[in-house]
Amino acid sequence: MKKHNVLLLFFVLLYAFCLYVYLGLYSLSYWSLLSNQLYLIPPLLAVLGGLYAVTRYGKGNPHGRALLYFSLGISALFVGELLWLYYEHILGADPFPSLADVFYIVSYPLMIIGIFKEIRISNRKEQLPSWKVAIPVALLIAVSSFYFIYQAYDYEASLIENTFSMGYGLGDIILVVAGVYIFRIMRDYSGGRMASAWLMIGIGLILTLIADVLFSFFYQQYEESLYAYAQIDLVWSLAYLFFSYGLFKIGFIIDDIRQKVIKSCG
């Protein structure tokens, strides 16, 4: 069985276990501790996937540098998750607003920088987005700005709370734009295994956006650990697993290419 198939099977089994814990053990007394520990595994795997892909390319490779920025964004998300759990379950404090939010928000520009760098080093002559791409992106930004920034402002909240809330809104706009440009990367690879790896990353971005929107709409219910709303974590976990699979697959592809080159030279 090929490495990426083994990894896919592992991720499927891991997510099945996550579903079992989140949906099947919710009413048990140790559910919170187990679910919180389990929740950290998918983002950690995404960080490891990013490191693996970057090291396979090498620091001097422009694709490796692009993935380094994206992986730093994933790493910032992981640190944010750690801090959020630390504030909420160890200190017993409200994690919003906190240092965790800083790492969450920083992750968005890092990821989009990585995606733009990947686009710029493509072999296509067309480096700037054409009007066919620019117009839909402009419309998405306009609509997203209303829902993610304007509606995020709360007149009863403090300045720092509104700053973070609107920062998340801006971050979600970045995710929208990043999702659009993932298709540019897939087009530049003209299909094939590398395009499918970036598709997994794109799905991860879309799932992250969905989870962020659900969280912003149902924050109070989520904080009260109401059953249906607590399962938003499952969407984030799935997003991290898509990131992980896409990044590991990129590393596997580079390894396969190297092995073929070595065999051909031998």
Residue 155 has what pLDDT?
A: 59
Of 161 and 98, the structure prediction assigns the larger pLDDT to 98
Query: What does the angle CA 176 – CA 111 – CA 105 come to, to the nearest 5 degrees?
Result: 80
> Domains of the chain, with CATH numbers?
41-265 (1.20.1070)
Q: What is the pLDDT of residue 32?
A: 67
Q: What is the pLDDT of residue 99?
A: 94
% of the chain residues with pLDDT over 70 = 81
Is the pLDDT higher at 41 or at 132?
41
- The reported pLDDT for the residue numbered 255 is 93
State which amino acid sits at residue 121: I
Higher pLDDT, 93 or 75: 75
200-216 pLDDT, tens digit each: 999 999 999 889 888 87
Are 115 and 178 within 8 A, CB to CB?
Answer: yes
Residue, of 225 and 154, whose pLDDT is higher: 225
Question: What are the pLDDT digits (tens) for 168-179?
Answer: 877 877 887 788
Q: What pLDDT, on a 0 to 100 scale, did the predictor assign at position 133?
A: 55
- Determine the Cα–Cα distance for residues 162 and 167; give it in Å rounded to an integer: 8
Q: What pLDDT, on the 0 to 100 scale, is given for residue 234?
A: 92
Q: Which residue has the higher pLDDT, 126 or 85?
A: 85
pLDDT of residue 248: 97
Kindly give the residue spans of alpha helices, DSSP state H, lying in 121-191.
131-145, 159-188
Higher pLDDT residue, 137 or 49? 49
Q: What are 157-196's pLDDT values in tens digits?
A: 776 777 777 778 778 778 877 887 888 788 778 778 899 9
Q: What is the pLDDT of residues 108-148, one digit of tens each?
A: 999 999 998 998 886 554 444 554 555 555 555 555 555 55
For 52-69, write each residue's pLDDT tens digit: 999 999 878 999 999 999
The torsion region of residue 133 among left (phi > 0), alpha (psi -120 to 50) and beta comes to alpha
pLDDT band at 156 (very low <50, low <70, confident <90, very high): low
Please give the single-letter amino acid code of residue 104.
Y
Which residues have C-beta within 8 Å of that of residue 19, sequence separation ≥ 6?
234
Backbone angles phi, psi at 134, to 5 degrees: -65, -40
113-136 as b/e, with b when 16 or more CB fall inside 10 Å? Answer: bbbbbbbeeeeeeeeeeeeeeeee
